Every structure is written in C-alpha cells, then in structure tokens.
Amino acid sequence: MALEDATVGLVGKVLDNWLLVGITLGVMVLASYLMQMTSVLKTLPAAISKAEFTSFPLIHVENVSHNTKLFRFGLLHPRQSLELPIGKHISVLGYDENNEEVRRPYTPTTLADTLGHFDLVVKIYPQGKMSQIFDKLTIGKTLKFRGPMGRFKYEPNMKAFFGMVAGGTGITPMFQVIKAILENPHDKTKLSLIFGNITEDDILLKSELDGFQRTHPDRLEIFYILDKPPQGWTGGRGYVTPEMITERFGEPSDTNMILSCGPPPMKKALKGHLEKLGFTDDMLFEF
C-alpha cells in the first residue's frame, strides 16, 4: 500500500512538473509572438504620407442617407492605422470620366488609432466631380490619398469649451473632434454643436451624434437647424443667428474656441455674427 501511495505521489509530481513546463513554454511562445508583432508594427511604414499620394482600395460601401454614402478604404496592412492627428484632413486624388485629375479635401470619420481601414462620408452631388468619382467606384478599385493636411492642431484640454457650427458635410471634422474628445477619459472639454441642414433627411451621422449626446449629456449639447423643417419639428429653423450663438456658446472668452465648417455663405455670415458679438480672430477656426 505504501509503495502504491509513493507511486501515485511520484506520478503526481511528474504531471505537475510537466504542467509547469507546458505553462512556461506557452508563456514563452506568447511572449515571443508579442515581441515579433511589436517588431512588425515598429517596422511598418506610415500608412499615408504628406509628400506623395498612396493608393488604397475600396473595401466597403453603405448608404448613410438618401444622398450620402460611407466609403471604407483598406490600408496596406491590417495592423496599420492612418495615424491622422485630430483636426487634420487628407487630400483625395481621382480621375473623372475624361481622365482628368480631380483633388478634394476630406476628413475621415474614423480616429487615428483605427486599425486596417479608414472611413469617409461623402455627399453625392449630381454635378460634383469628386463625389461622382466616389459614387462610381466599385469594391477593389483604388483612389489616391495624401496627408495629413490642415492647420488645426488639437491637444486634449487645450480649451475648456468648443462651440461648433457645421453645415451639411461640414460635420465630418466636427465629428472627428467630438469623438476624440469624448472617447478620451482624460479630456474634460465641453462641447456645443449647432448643425444646419436643408431637410431632416440631410442630417449626416445623426444617430452617432445623438448617441454621443445620450452618453455624455453633461459635456455635449447639439442643436439642429433646418431650412425646410417637417411638421412638428422642435429644433431650429432657418439660419444661424447671433442669438443662437450667445445662447449656445456664451460670451467670448480666451478659454473657449469656435470651430466652423460648411458652405462659404454660412462661414461668412457666422464670422460677421461673431465679430459683432466680440469674438476675436484667434477665437475662431475655420476648417
């Protein structure tokens, strides 16, 4: 009986030792894999360059509204990110039906750390040269991109408050900044957005924006304005007014900044309103 117990004990120790060896080897293999992946990521070239255009293939398309689509482009490596600083945009190069070069600026709605792809939300205009190039693009076909571009440099908590005025597709740089601020637990910046469109169907990224507002009611306020509101509409009507600005953004302050992006007439009118209200040029940035 003693011999049997000794044998069982010995077998148990052997099994324990083999289990320990197995765990050790597993940890070593995992550590080696992680080191290799880190090395691969460090040696990956930047996904995009400001000096020259890089081609990326279209990998996904979906309708956002009746005249707007989301176009997703794949990066060259699934572990790459666009690494586009917040507030920056990219230049897109394509060729029209006459093989003539067309370039336009766009702001991705994905953040800098999104891996393997980036998204562009594009409004399709019947006579828009670049939007028609996007609309005719099929899965697997490429466009060329260059960046980062732009003068705006965002840093967490650089201002206590951002007042934002966007019109139509001008929402995309605002969306990028809003998303980055609210997803950063260390960023305490408060935000107020005035977003103008023609009809309710034209409001881009509304479900995402409303989701941000529900999740962060103490930090984000959104006021929608329509030129042609439907019956029962409870938001704003017409155009941005000085009264709306004062109510939503408060008085001019060095700790606040106003960001705007939209059609030229909107930006011109907004600048005039802000000047009359006492906002100085360094308190306004136009994308």
Active site residues: 89, 106-107, 261
Say if residues 85 and 173 touch (Cβ distance below 8 Å).
Answer: no
